[in-house]
Amino acid sequence: MQLCRGKLFQFTGKPGGDCQGVSELVFRGVKLIWTLVEVGKTVNSSGVLFIGGKNILDENGIVSQNKARLVAQGYNQQESIDYDETYALVARIKSIRILLPYACALDFKLFQIDVKSAFLNGVINEEVYVAQPPGFIDSEQPDHVYKLKKALYGLKQAPKAWYDRLKAFLIKHDYKIGMVDNTLFTKKKSSNLIIVQIYVDDIIFGSTCQDMCDEFPKIMHDEFKLGMMGELNFFFGLQIKQMKDGIFFNQSKYIKEMLKKFGLEDSKPMKNPYVLRYQTHRR
């Protein structure tokens, strides 16, 4: 199956072409979060559309997966009617820069996982309605709308709903939320420690105990659908290498992108005052 890359598509009739199979899979995947209901004309409802062709790149800039998504047109939402609070916390780059040397000092590896369709796990407290997707309108109930049970991408409260759900899940499993950084969670067992850092649906974790490190992805898998998992090698635009003698990171991919953007790939290199091959090591 091939996604329609780089294309925003709104179906006004029956879906067709290369996008048909993708849109049907996306629609099937969100059916568990809504119920088709009949409401009055005064009820505010948002439209929905399919977005396809988002390429996910790995640390080398190579497309590792494509994403298609059904999103709500949240700009139609009205404050205090179908949404209230919207602010959601995300990890800062400073937190990642602190976490890397801390893991190096305690001599444990960091791993990363991502949660598939994370926002669809968020529970919403407001009554939110969305129109039937174009191309997937119920022939027997064409005037009905969908009442959401959970969040949908594009809703103003979706990021916060997902963060609240994940936070409650981790606290339930005895993780402590950071006092300064609320995207940092820790758990201790005797002298062992596991650290979990959250950036929306991307999660970094590592532990001084292998059993605790193995347990975390297991409990996550039991609750959520997970995507890629492996050693931390690319995050926040940083390419990361975890070696025996230290953790090294660079932004060569970003630099190459900037050179290409400004047409400087063939330019002659110039020396800079920075010390070459400078390395930091454990004490």
Candidates 249, 219, 13; CA nearest to 110 is 249
- pLDDT the model gives residue 217: 94
**13-19-21-24 Cα dihedral, nearest 10 degrees:** -50
Q: For residue 184, is it within any domain?
A: yes
Q: For residue 174, is it within any domain?
A: yes
User: How many structural domains compose the chain?
Assistant: 1
Q: Taking the model in full, what pTM does it have?
A: 0.74
Tell me how long the chain is.
283
Q: For residue 278, is it within any domain?
A: no
Q: pLDDT tens digits, residue range 190-230?
A: 999 999 999 999 999 999 999 999 999 999 999 998 987 78
What is the average pLDDT value for the chain, to the nearest integer?
79
Q: For residue 269, is it within any domain?
A: no
Q: For residue 263, is it within any domain?
A: no
- pLDDT the model gives residue 20: 46
Q: For residue 206, is it within any domain?
A: yes
Mind spelling out the 3-state secondary structure of 192-244? EEEEEEEECCEEEEEECCHHHHHHHHHHHHHHCCEEEEEECCEECCEEEEEEC
* Cβ–Cβ < 8 Å for 106, 187: no
Q: For residue 63, is it within any domain?
A: yes
Candidates 36, 23, 31, 35; CA nearest to 141 is 36
Q: For residue 259, is it within any domain?
A: no
Range of the domain at 98: 8-243
- pLDDT the model gives residue 18: 45
Indicate whether 123 pLDDT > 70: yes
| pLDDT-wise least confident of 10-24, 55-69, 184-198 | 10-24
